[in-house]
A and B are shown apart, each in its own frame.
Chain A
């Protein structure tokens, strides 16, 4: 009897317990299931409900939803989070977090989101991850709340702020709190204090929040203070903007330099008007594409090194084509610039159409290695890694070229032949061979430029056309036959262009630069740095 009673108590306790956990799991299952039905409007409500549950498992589910990785398995309607591995998707059950096998895309239905929902998810994940152990996640949460201030998150923010130890995260929290306070119906004193916090932050996001506050404020004092604060932030930003223009100018200049530096050799020192120069750049870009294509199919782990592998290959491909052009066509036309111009222009069309026939007319995708994607902030300037690396690369190529010309026997021969051909020949230099190698060097460098430009421009048969005019402009402006002139010419044209663009617009800016160069050439026909001495004639 006694035993029986005890057993009954135990049993009922057990059932109660199992029912308890079951209801919790059922709650989450229902909430998650709600995410997957109905239109975008219903989904928004479901996201709100899931976030409000405060369940620790909600954040990863919402993140997966935002990233488009939340699926419903067609066979059993289980909601899963998928991770792509090769051609397969590896699944985990969204509710239990257990592995759920793998599947292909066709067996699953993706839970769709739109921009609006991504924003809502961001804010929800933000308020759910304020207490995350990783300080970077906490800062990210603060940033997304700053961008989308949600008055409902104020209590959570206050709690997080009180518990926070990390100084930088604390600052981010208090700025996010300020934005939230401005969006809420807090007291006037609180709002004025919040304005000050954002004013000290002084960046675009702060300006956004301040402007929004100025737009909606009803209290005249807050309105004035908000307008005042945003004016002060705008002033700070204006200074940064000038610095930013300089950086953009350098970056554009480095692209011009890369495109022009090969031409500075073929046109500048050899005097060959090579209209097919742009196509050498294009060949370099296509070499990069081929290298990446091979790597993608046979050695995906090498992808980050693909550009480094492509560099020597692009140099060789473009250089070899350059030598072939010199030996096959240009050497018969030395001293006849007009015919050289027409012949090389024809060659450029032939090369373009050849590439079009082989690779097709559409753009080819050249991916960015991880070390070239994304951006970082210097003060209020956004510096993208791809641009930074291109600036560095351009300078390295330039320095290497100077070294080759100054310190190697080949460089010596080149200078000798271009300065005084009969004399060099009399000294025993095989001038035709040096001509071919010089042209090959110039073309090879254009190929290197192609590798870099594949990161920022289209890889299409027309790639080279866009750069040929600019390259000639830089070489002529800098001073024909002078490499340093090309460097200074490229950078100054880049910077002038970038300072004109915000005021005159891209179209007019380009025209103004052209007019400027025409006038400049009238005054100084030999360009910025004219060669002096007998060699000129």
Chain B
């Protein structure tokens, strides 16, 4: 071998190695990947697409501030297409192939249940932004939406005290969230002295569109000489025909108010709200709340979507809080390593958009204020009542016999999502 050839070969080799090293450095050093697991097609696209956009906006804003740990954030968007098993597959793809540091995603409880084993197996981090039925606490999931005691129970209390409601119609879509929530509410109402005959429970299929009979039933149930209210856990698309039928049938909020847990600004955008003025919704955030943080958020959001009429809603705020908490936790831990971040998360406190602060509690749920709003003619909500401070989530409902002894605490030494205070053991639903 001639010297020239040797030198040339050596140079090439060195170049190759430098190239490889450079690549490896670029992958590990430049970017932190963040997974976004929201349906962009199928039934749930109506709600979830907005959340994807919020995440993209938050990541862009964070990058403008210089990223995180000196690295840029990169969004990895996948589309689980409203298909529950596909959620699990896509979650696995995000964690194994893309090696994302955290995932923000899911809307329906069934999609969360579908990805839960994947996140536990691969030790990922999921931020779940939607109000849900509770009865769950996983080490790998941070629940930034409301548990039943942060939404449903205060709403019922409000109706009982301020509107003197004595008769209750619990109407919901037929799946796990409404069924569990209604079970909790029924137990709660009975404990408050409401008789069985004053509670009516009604379930309808997903996407139910013919509400005539049910609206007539509501009218009938409401003419028993006692103030009646409807507590609605009707989800998704079915709400629009329901409210249209209510408006047409002339059920006014002052006669029979309807309080909803799944209807926000986004859902009302498809309805003429003039006949619905006064019907209620319980959330932890409303677009109409006046606070500097909220004004700034709305402005950024409308600029980002290039639509000055784009509305904001509660699950969006949950993602804002969740994302900011994750950023703080990563800074505190100094790494995006799952175990370190999960430990660092507890106790992180960030401002929410309604002018207060939300903290991550040891049960992996956050503290939230509860707001009751009345629908206005312009499709927004007027806040008519709110809790004095924030409310701590009860992940295991004290009103259900199966879960009343359970608590979750992910701090050491307990480190358990379903600790049974009666038996003193971790795991299992107790007697």
Q: Is B208 an interface residue (CB 8 A)?
A: yes
Asked if B254 contacts A119 (CB within 8 A), the reply is yes
Are the CB atoms of A115 and B374 closer together than 8 Å?
yes
Q: Residues of B contacting A248 with CB < 8 Å? A: 210, 212-213, 216
Q: Would you call A458 an interface residue if the criterion is a C-beta within 8 Å of the partner chain's C-beta atoms?
A: yes
The reply to whether the CB of A141 lies closer than 8 angstroms to some CB of chain B is no
Contact of A501 with B by CB under 8 A? yes
Tell me, rounded to whole Å, the shortest Cβ–Cβ distance linking A279 to chain B. 14
C-alpha spacing A251/B216, complex, angstroms:
14
Q: Is the CB of B203 within 8 A of A507?
A: yes
Set of chain A residues within 8 Å of B207, measured between Cβ atoms? 462, 465-466
A115, B213: Cβ atoms closer than 8 Å? no
A456 within 8 Å of B (CB atoms): yes
Nearest CB on B from A499, distance (A): 9
Does B205 interact with chain A (Cβ within 8 Å)? yes
Which of A212, A213, A385 has its CB near the most chain B CB atoms (within 10 A)?
Answer: A212
Check A456–B213 contact: CB distance below 8 A.
Answer: no
- Place the interface of chain A in its size category: 35 or more
Question: Could you say which residues of chain B place their CB within 8 Å of the CB of A360?
Answer: 49
Residue of A nearest to B379 (CB): A365
Cβ of A323 to closest chain B Cβ, rounded Å: 26
Residues of A within 8 A of B27 (CB): none
Tell whether A510 is near chain B: CB-to-CB under 8 Å: yes
State the CA gap A497–B213 with chains docked (Å). Answer: 10
Q: Report B-chain residues with C-beta under 8 Å of the C-beta of A363.
A: 46, 237, 240, 267, 269-271
A510 contacts across to B, CB distance below 8 A? 205
**0/1 interface trace, chain B 22-48, chain A, CB 8 Å (1 if under):** 000000000000000000111101100
Contact A213 B225 (CB under 8 A): yes
User: In the complex, how many angstroms separate the beta carbon of B275 from the nearest chain A beta carbon?
Assistant: 8
Which B254-280 residues have C-beta < 8 A from chain A? 254-255, 257, 266-267, 269-272, 275, 277-278, 280
Q: Which residues of A contact B43 (CB under 8 A)?
A: 462, 465
Contact A507–B270 (Cβ < 8 Å): no
By beta carbon, the residue of chain B nearest A84 is B377
Q: Is the CB of B203 within 8 A of A501?
A: no
The reply to whether A118 and B254 contact each other, CB–CB distance below 8 Å, is yes
Task: Choose among A68, A119, A458 the residue that contacts B241 (Cβ–Cβ < 8 A).
Answer: A458
Q: Specify which of B207, B210, B222 lies most central, judged by the most chain A CB atoms within 10 Å of its CB.
A: B210
Complex formed: what's the CA distance from A115 to B158 in Å? 12
Contact between B217 and A460, CB atoms less than 8 A apart = no
Q: Assuming the A-B contacts A114-B278, A365-B269, A365-B271, are A356 and B225 also in contact, with contact meaning beta carbons closer than 8 angstroms in the complex?
A: no
Indicate if the CB atoms of B208 and A506 lie closer than 8 Å: yes
* Stretch in A29-37, A74-82, A367-375, A429-437 with 4+ CB within 8 Å of B: A367-375
Tell which of B90-98, B103-111, B242-250, B421-429 binds the partner. B242-250
CA–CA, A375 and B219, complex, Å: 14
Q: Give chain B residues whose Cβ lies under 8 Å from the Cβ of A497.
A: 210
State in angstroms the CA–CA spacing of A111 and B244 once bound together. 27
Can you list, as one digit per residue, whether each of A221-259 has a CB less than 8 Å from chain B (1) or not (0)? 000000000000000010001001100100110010000
A339 CB-CB contact with B under 8 Å: no
Cα(A122)–Cα(B252), bound, Å: 12
The reply to whether A368 and B272 contact each other, CB–CB distance below 8 Å, is yes
Question: What is the chain A residue whose CB lies nearest that of B382?
Answer: A112
A505 at the interface (CB under 8 A from B): yes
On chain B, the residues within 8 Å of A213 by CB distance are 225
Assuming the A-B contacts A244-B216, A365-B271, are A382 and B249 also in contact, with contact meaning beta carbons closer than 8 angstroms in the complex?
A: yes
**Is A92 at the interface (CB under 8 A from chain B)?**
no
Identity of the chain B residue whose Cβ is nearest the Cβ of A112 in the assembled complex: B382
Tell me the complex Cα distance, A363–B271, Å.
8
A115, A365, A374, A457: which contacts B272 (Cβ < 8 A)? Answer: A365
Residues 103 to 140 of chain B near chain A (Cβ within 8 Å): none
What is the CA–CA distance of A108 and B240 in the complex, to the nearest angstrom? 31
One of B209, B224, B277 near A466 (C-beta < 8 A): B209
Q: Tell me whether B170 is interfacial, beta carbon within 8 Å.
A: no
Residue in B closest to A453 when the chains form the complex, CB atoms: B209
Which stretch of A45-53, A56-64, A203-211, A262-270 is in the interface?
Answer: A203-211
Q: Is B220 an interface residue (CB 8 A)?
A: yes
**Residue A384 CB within 8 A of the other chain:** yes
From A122, A210, A465, give the contact of B254 (CB < 8 A).
A122
Q: Of the candidates A118, A502, A507, which one forms a contact with B174 in the assembled complex, judged by CB atoms under 8 Å apart? A: A507
Whether A40 is near chain B, meaning CB under 8 Å from some CB there, is: yes
Binding site for B on A (CB under 8 A): 40, 68, 112, 114-116, 118-119, 122, 147, 204-205, 207-215, 237, 241, 244-245, 248, 251-252, 255, 352-353, 356, 360-365, 367-368, 373-375, 382, 384-387, 455-462, 465-466, 497-498, 501-502, 505-507, 510
Give 16 A-B contacts (CB < 8 Å), ordered by A residue.
A114-B162, A204-B219, A208-B222, A210-B225, A211-B226, A212-B225, A248-B216, A356-B45, A360-B49, A363-B46, A363-B240, A365-B271, A456-B244, A458-B237, A462-B207, A466-B209
* Known contacts A114-B162, A387-B212, A507-B205, then 5 further A-B pairs from the complex at CB < 8 Å, ordered by chain A residue: A205-B223, A211-B224, A362-B270, A373-B248, A382-B249
In the complex, the 7 A-B pairs of residues with the closest C-beta atoms, listed nearest first = A363-B270, A211-B225, A212-B225, A384-B248, A361-B45, A204-B223, A506-B204
